[in-house]
Amino acid sequence: MFPTTKLVSVLFVILKSDDVTGTLWSDVANHSAWKMLDFFECGENAADRIIGGLDAALGQFPWIARLGYVSAEDNETDWMCGGALISDRHIVTAAHCVRISPDEEFQLSFVRLGEYDTRTDPDCKLRVCAPPVQDRAVKPNLVRSHKLFNNPNFHNDIAIIELDTPVELNNYVSPICLPKEDQLGDLKVGELVTVAGWGKMNMSTDQRADVLQYVQLPVVQPVVCDSIGRGFTVSESEICAGAQLNKDACGGDSGGPMMKIYDTPDGPKTYLVGTVSFGPTICGIKKPGVYASISHYLHWILDNIL
């Protein structure tokens, strides 16, 4: 139902001249939505250490959202996509995660924030406990997918979900930053970024992660994504990344954030640089994945959170 994509940290190449970057920033710098976003502290986490394995630390990615889809037949919930909180009521995700036809078995019904271990609520580590998860309903009139989203080729695969009521911000539920002028520069091949989610961990089974996972990978030249097939050609609005054996995003990770940490005058902060779109049918086989570029869609995002 959803394209295959798996947990990934990605190195990517976005070629931008200083002129292009300056023009982009001048187009959005005075946008009225920036004033709203600047109200929120963003890009900070409550993790007390960096985990060297695949398990994230409690509070490491407090902007991670899970999208819950409810079956009309038996009222069961499945978690098919992720997203990233950018304010107290807006989620950035993939368009294919929200454009579900009325005859689908599962319908997008709510968003969960503050999740870490899907088996426990509240989540605790080393005698430190996070608050309970926060669920918010998804109403069709509050979902905005890009009008040029083209399924099945997945160009313009980006959407905004406005929650029915704002979430309560705390150390374990807080927004990620959107890129500003200093974060709109060149991203070089081999530069690491991170992708996180609860997607599939093993392609031989349908088992998804219980504990939030993350991974790091490199961005590759756009032409490498031609190997995915489907007649897909990467556009300037997309990032081609990965092509690492057994390191990838997979089913259940779609819509989740691609992240990068930047130094700022207020210390290191995490920025949203991409969203998981799609990848090869089988994950982790040294084929890359495709990610929607947040820099490209920055103006669109600002227009759709007012």
> Tokens 């759709």 belong to which residue?
304
SS3 category, 118: coil
CA distance 101 to 237: 25
**Of 9, 174, 254, 277, which one is the catalytic site residue?**
254
CA distance 42 to 40: 6
**Of 117, 123, 157, 248, which one is the catalytic site residue?**
157
CA distance 19 to 57: 39
| 228 contacts 240 by C-beta, under 8 angstroms | no
**Of 96, 146, 155, 296, which one is the catalytic site residue?**
96
| 258 contacts 245 by C-beta, under 8 angstroms | no
CA distance 18 to 85: 29
Q: Which residues of 242-274 are buried (b: 16+ CB within 10 A; e: fewer)?
A: bbbeebbbbbbbbbbbbbbebeeeeeebbbbbb
- Residue 96 falls in the annotated catalytic set: yes
- Residue 248 falls in the annotated catalytic set: no
Which residues contact residue 239 at a Cβ distance below 8 angstroms, ignoring those fewer than 6 apart?
10, 12, 13, 14, 219, 258, 273, 274, 290, 291, 292, 293
Cite the active site residues.
Answer: 96, 157, 254
